[in-house]
């Protein structure tokens, strides 16, 4: 797996919007953060474009493709920070020419809909960075580690995480390539050129939000029937929040790790003889630790704690 070069002071990070539209002012905080890192923020030409086609995209497919192609090709850009998720990345992924990127790979940063890029580029043999998007989620308090972990990864600091145990955890140790991301996106990519392949040497990470409980069950059934759940070497479950409807889930709708969703997932995983951890702080939550997707990791789940080590 090819790891992009780490960043150094004075390098450029481009912000680009491959999915939902951005509004003026929504990126001001991210721009100042990049500057505080002693890096140079660069905004894509059509960052604030808008195209309404039953959904407010950040410009037409052609415009979003043009912007993403530019950041892939510009050798002065060392990392690509996706402005936000939403929907739309899958509509441009097959239009991108990756010839220059393969010669000069760079970090692609984001989560949620950006899972499209993680899965696609990981499958091609390149590491990516699952972490906060440039735009924050509304009305969410952000943990400082959400951004610090992105910076630490980008500059090449060694990262490892220790989290608390969870009643649904399954003990054990495993090494493998970290893949996955947003459950609904992973599910939607199955059968395509961006789908997870060779799951027997993978450790699967999943998170999601604003999904009905029955939809979670349906998506997991698909992963099971595709042989992914039954073949991976380990599973890491992140945040699942705003699940089902607020009326039906009034007590836990804002819970970052929705208990009913975890109960559903546990029903699929309880008979798997692999290490599994619930409650990892990553996903649609203010505590969103950066994960190097495509990297080889070691997952240790014990009765006392959970450790995730990034080996390369």
CB 147 within 8 A of CB 298: no
Bridge pairing between strands 107-110 and 77-82:
parallel
Residue 258 has φ and ψ, to the nearest 5°, of: -55, 120
Alpha-carbon gap, residue 53 to 60, rounded angstroms: 9
Tokens of 25: 């002012």
DSSP string, 138-201: TT-PPPHHHHHHHHHHHTT---EEEE---TT-B-EEEEEEEEEEEHHHHHHHTTSTTS---GGG
pLDDT band for position 241 (cuts 50, 70, 90): very high
Over the stretch 44-55, which tens digit does the pLDDT of each residue have? 999 999 999 999
Over the stretch 201-215, which tens digit does the pLDDT of each residue have? 999 999 999 999 999
Q: Is the pTM of this model over 0.85?
A: yes
How high is the pLDDT of residue 56? 98
Q: Mean pLDDT throughout 3-31?
A: 98
Q: Mean pLDDT throughout 138-148?
A: 96
78: pLDDT strictly greater than 90: yes
- Dihedral sign (CA 255, 256, 261, 267): negative
Q: Work out the widest C-alpha separation in the chain, in whole angstroms.
A: 51
> Is 262 strand, coil or helix?
helix
312: pLDDT strictly greater than 90: no
Q: Average model confidence (pLDDT) for the chain? A: 98
Give CA separation, 233 vs 86, 91, 179, in Å.
30, 31, 11
Eight-class DSSP state of 271: T
How high is the pLDDT of residue 118? 98
Percent of the chain's residues with pLDDT above 70: 100
């Amino acid at each position: 797996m090819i790891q992009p070069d780490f960043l150094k002071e004075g390098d450029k990070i481009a912000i680009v919007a491959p999915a939902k539209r951005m509004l003026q002012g929504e990126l001001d905080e991210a721009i100042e953060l990049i500057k505080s890192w002693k890096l140079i923020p660069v905004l894509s030409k059509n960052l604030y474009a808008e195209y309404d086609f039953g959904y407010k995209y950040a410009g037409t497919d052609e415009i979003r493709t043009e912007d993403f192609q530019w950041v892939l090709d510009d050798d002065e850009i060392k990392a690509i920070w996706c402005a936000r998720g939403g929907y739309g990345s899958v509509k441009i992924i097959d239009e991108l020419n990756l010839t220059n990127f393969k010669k000069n790979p760079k970090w692609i940063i984001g989560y949620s809909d950006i899972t499209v890029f993680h899965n696609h580029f990981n499958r091609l043999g390149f590491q990516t960075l699952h972490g906060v998007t440039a735009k924050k989620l509304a009305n969410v308090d952000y943990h400082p580690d959400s951004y610090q972990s992105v910076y630490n990864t980008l500059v090449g600091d060694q990262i490892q995480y220790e989290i608390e145990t969870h009643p649904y955890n399954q003990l054990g140790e495993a090494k493998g390539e970290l893949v996955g991301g947003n459950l609904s996106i992973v599910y939607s990519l199955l059968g395509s050129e961006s789908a997870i392949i060779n799951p027997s040497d993978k450790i699967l990470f999943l998170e999601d939000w604003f999904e009905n409980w029955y939809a979670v069950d349906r998506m997991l059934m698909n992963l099971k029937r595709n042989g992914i759940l039954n073949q991976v070497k380990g599973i890491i479950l992140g945040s699942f929040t705003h699940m089902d409807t607020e009326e039906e889930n009034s007590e836990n709708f804002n819970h970052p790790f929705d208990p009913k969703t975890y109960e559903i997932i546990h029903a699929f995983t309880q008979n798997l003889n692999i290490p599994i951890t619930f409650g990892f702080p990553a996903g649609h939550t203010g505590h969103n630790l950066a994960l190097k997707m495509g990297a080889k990791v070691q997952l240790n789940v014990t009765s006392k704690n959970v450790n995730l080590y990034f080996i390369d």
